[in-house]
Structure 1
């Protein structure tokens, strides 16, 4: 059974592991939120591009608008298959793209664009979740950021970076094994004896 790990849960796990206060809610204005939310896309993006994961990029138009928050007028629900939204833009009738300021939480993107937006996101072929190793790798990388920026402990930050890389390596191995060509059915001794001639 898979467990879903939200961005806020992973950030709070990193904060608690480093003896810091939890983030109460996304965009709560705390220094911890600002630090981790600014580093989150860099960590996730770098690993998704470096690792040979069973993920693909997809562009999709989002039209179902709801009331925004966090200082933005509009909100659009991100599809469940999205693991991470990489880019967001609007496009006029002539096909000219503009890239407004935007933010996201675990479910929606927030922007000032009432007529719909386009997103580029990292998806999996089926509705799936990040593996525990991938999530743990992100958590360790966030802990390294906390060690550097808040606790000012460079040695511990390097150790957390290395631990994060170990978890990412495990996640890459699992992902590549899931893509490798394997024989769907391997017969046992009884099946071999049953279908043998003579």
Structure 2
């Protein structure tokens, strides 16, 4: 199935759910490309995001189930005016961590117990809510950040990149230049390469929670 987004005209090709299992009229869930800097796939109910992959990094869209048939694989193709993606049929979300923002800001959702964990240096914003497994309020810093006071970064692996909410994208910078640029900005909270195909390159910086 081709899912696409035309940059010039704004026209889209996307999947829409049935109204119910026995009613094929248009339902309220859509599966489409979200283009904010880098393309990612999202499941939306109206304007509310229910699920997202991580942004395309030149190799893959992580966060999707592995296809049972190895003959099928994801292809993200780019033309001057269109972004396309091919995928097989599968079910989303398929575990709690697939639900958008399940653990709230500054946290990690894992398929283990406890399922939500604050990032290093952060603590639940509401301990009472977390104790009853309501984690949507997320996490906050244990101590206020003292900018340019010797702060650094914790490396995270095997996770989705943050959503493209408050971000900056520079495709010509390398990772070290990205780190230095992020350190110079007190509101920059994370950075990564934007393309890991071949020689990793590009710089995404995130701001805020």
Band of TM-score, shorter chain: under 0.3
- Name the one with the larger strand percent: 2
Q: Taking structure 1 as the reference length, what is the TM-score of the superposition?
A: 0.25
Q: Taking structure 2 as the reference length, what is the TM-score of the superposition?
A: 0.24
- Name the one with the larger helix percent: 1
Question: Which entry has the higher C-alpha Rg, 1 or 2?
Answer: 1
